[in-house]
Structure 1
Amino acid sequence: MRNEERTMSICYIFASGEYGTQWPDIQPGDLCIAADGGFSQMQAHGVDPDLVVGDFDSLGYVPPHPHIVRHPAEKDDTDTALALSEGWSRGYRNFHIYGSLGGRLDHTLANVQLLCGLVEQGGRGKLVGPGMTVTAVHNGTLELEGETGRTLSIFCLGEPAHGVTLEGLKYPLHGATMTVQVPLGVSNEFLGGPARITVERGTLVVMIENQV
């Protein structure tokens, strides 16, 4: 596959966290990576991963798969981070990470950190879990759509985010500065049409209530 095709395709990572009812529509050219315990989720859905990554402490055994990248239990990166690095090294720039929310709070926060680092390197991504999808935007505009009343929250979790403009939401902002100390963007709502979240300088994390 050519590099430009990989940047258009999606790298799906299946992690060891909690899963809801959502499951991706995997297309030819997409890459599927099981990160440790995510292997059992893929098996349950009848999906064979292209690659299996991790130390396998969550899964409890090394799966019989022809493409395994095994790591020691004592390491600097999480299994999800290692899976993301594998996808990035193969030319993928759009990542959908399932099983990345819920469960241990420290792993959830680590995955949000990974998401911020991803968009700050020019990639795109989202974390998908039970009841919520999390995405992020860096120095740019994120366009979304949601039915009237659907909840989303917008957070600055690092350096101050400047020039924040929210359009098409119940509570708009125009050129505001958001900081990690003040939860200014919590519990906003879609108005039933397109919404735009713009940050001129900085990174914003966007948490969206999943549709039932």
Structure 2
Amino acid sequence: MKRCFIFAAGTFFGLRERPGEPGDFVIAADAGYRTCQKNSIVPDLLLGDFDSMEQPVDFSNIHRSPVEKDDTDTMLAIKTGLEHGCTEFFLYGGTGGKRLDHTLANLQSLLYLRRRGAKGFLFDDDFCWTVIEDESITVKKTVEWGLLSVFCLGDRADGVEESGVQYPLQDAVLTPEFPIGVSNHILEETARVAVRCGVLVVGWELPPLESKRPLSVR
């Protein structure tokens, strides 16, 4: 499974998974390049319209895009990663700051990845988000009383199940108009979330970085 690491220009909350395996592809999207510099990461590619920073003169592999375009810089990075055969994506700097619109856009981009045979993980402040469609995901508990939140991304999600949590669900229907899946808690060693038909955004709490364990999902 070829991995793609994308560093965007939002708030950076620290590295959960670090590039370094053979075949890893690292993309800095616009001012995400600064995050790479601060963490001694040399990206394979720097792309964007450079509306968040000036184009650096000390880096050669740059793809400059127009400011007026349909894709965000992060989406351009996602499409580039897919073109390079990546199937697992780790997105940093895709949340936080003053741009809630970009956070929402990046959550939607997780579905873009899933529908193209890839998995995406969007890292927030001690939280990780992903998307599932007509499938299930199992998350290991890494924090006592750790939070787990599930939202419908679309018109409705049928046959939703949650187990190993404080408030289990069985054959439930989730809709975007009522957030019944927010703020559950993982009680057992693993929690399972499944949806028979539909799309879910799934987020779970991670331990503080000083005591973090590896990201564990399947």
TM beyond 0.5: yes
Aligned counterparts, 1:147-158, within 5 A: 147-158=143-154
2:108 equivalent among 104, 110, 113: 113
Give the C-alpha shift of residue 57 in structure 1: 1.0
CA 1:13–1:63 in structure 2 vs 1: closer, same or farther (change >3 Å)? Answer: farther
Matching residue of 2:133: 138
Long gaps (5+) in structure 2? 209-218
Matching residue of 1:180: 176
Matching residue of 1:127: 122
Give the C-alpha shift of residue 122 in structure 1: 2.2
Matching residue of 2:13: 20
Q: TM-score normalized by structure 2?
A: 0.90
**Number of equivalences:** 205
Within the alignment, does 1:70 sit opposite 2:64 as a pair? yes
Letter in 2 for 1:64: D
Long gaps (5+) in structure 1? 1-7
Residues 59-105 of structure 1: per-residue CA shift (max 9 Å, x gap): 22345322111101111110000000000011111111001111110
Letter in 2 for 1:77: D
Give the C-alpha shift of residue 50 in structure 1: 0.4
SS at match of 1:61: coil
Residues 154-203 of structure 1: per-residue CA shift (max 9 Å, x gap): 00021211110111111111111110011110100011411111111111
Distance 1:28 1:47 in 2: 15
Matching residue of 1:5: none
Matching residue of 2:36: 42
Distance 1:115 1:153 in 2: 16
Distance 2:175 2:195 in 1: 12
Moved more, 102-111 or 18-27: 18-27
Q: Contact conserved, 2:12 with 2:93, CA < 8 A, in 1?
A: yes
Structure 1 runs of 4+ aligned residues shifted over 4 Å read: none
Distance 2:109 2:57 in 1: 26
Moved more, 54-63 or 81-90: 54-63
Task: Name the one with the larger strand percent.
Answer: 1
